[in-house]
Amino acid sequence: MMRIPRIRSMSHTTETVAFAPPQRLDARRIGRFALRYSLVIILAIFLVTLAISNRSFLTVSNMNVILIQVAANALLATGATFVILTGGIDLSVGSIVGLAGVTAALFAQNDGALTCTEAVGLGVLAGAAIGAFNGLLVAFAKVPPFVATLGNMTVASGLAFVFSDGQPISGLSDQFLALSGNIGGVSIPVVVMIVAVAISWVILARTRFGMHIYAVGGNAHAARVAGVGLTGVRFAVYTISGALAGIAGVLLAARATAGIANTGTGYELNAIAAAVIGGISLMGGRGSLLGTIFGFLIIGVLDNGLNIINVSPFYQLIVKGLIIIGAVFVDSITHRTED
């Protein structure tokens, strides 16, 4: 007889303990899900809101325009991802865009002695050269990345103005201008963007070099002890960033039908913003290229949509800045949650 109250009491206690934790776990899971897929949610909200605001936004032609517009920033943001994952920063990519475009245009003129392929190669090589110089300063001379790339931003910009004599370089060959055309109905810049991003994703996610990049940014001392060549990795990522900026510069020169020295002014900020919005930690060692993809798509959609609904460029800067701050805030929350 005395056992009956005990059994009921124990069963009552068991029910209380059994049902309370799942409720807390469900709330945590929802929160983690929202944080994990926050970029997808933000992009979806932008798409729906802009589509409701203007019927011409969510059309095939406008989506194609957005992809063409984000192609250059996608290349720069991909390069920024390599660099930032090592704990570095590259402020020179905007100037590299102008230098690469001017260099390629100089050799792609109708009366030039070089072929279109050679002109493109020289443009990309110019970008890679500045990137390699950044890498030498950061990896071997131990110059802080901010200082090294800030200095080379000015150097690259100066070279672009010297090579062009401060004037747009026009009269480009038809073969070079064809780089802004289509392949099978898809814009060439978009094709280049997809290929470059895909290759970069494979490098970061599926190769030993990619693992070393994360290791250098996550804990440089531990990476050195494990046998990772810090100088080689750092040199390589800045060279990659410069080369991708060179490709972007060549494509923009073909699109503008001229090599213009200041074409890439301010582009470095959009590239860094795309990586940060995508969850790449400025401290290095954390984030993925998939996040960067959502980052530059969000910026592209936002820029295009706000232009369509005639929002002032000044307000656009405010909105973009708030989004960057929000992205860093979400990243810090995620960091604390994981810790």
**pLDDT for position 27:** 67
Rounded CA separation 83/239 (Å) = 9
Q: Is the pLDDT of residue 331 over 80?
A: no
pLDDT at site 54:
84
* CA-based nearest residue to 227, from 245, 206, 211, 204: 211
Distance CA 104, CA 125 (A): 10
Mean pLDDT, residues 48-63 taken together: 87
The tokens for 231 are 């100088």
Domains delineated in the chain: 70-334 (1.10.3470)
- Supply the pLDDT for residue 35: 65
Q: Which of 104, 147, 164, 163 is nearest to 128 (CA)?
A: 104
What mean pLDDT comes out for the span 95-107? Answer: 97
- Of 85, 69, 97, 104, give the one whose Cα is nearest residue 242: 97
Q: List CB contacts of 267: < 8 A, sequence separation 6 or more.
A: 72, 73, 76, 93, 94, 97, 248
Query: Which residue type, as a one-letter code, is found at position 46?
Result: F
pLDDT of 3 above 70: no
pLDDT in tens, 183-211: 888 999 999 999 999 999 999 999 999 99
* Local confidence band at 4 (pLDDT 50, 70, 90 cut-offs): very low
Position 26 scores a pLDDT of 65
H or E, element range at 115: none
What's the mean pLDDT in 298-324? 86
CA 296, 316, 197: angle at the middle one, nearest 5? 10
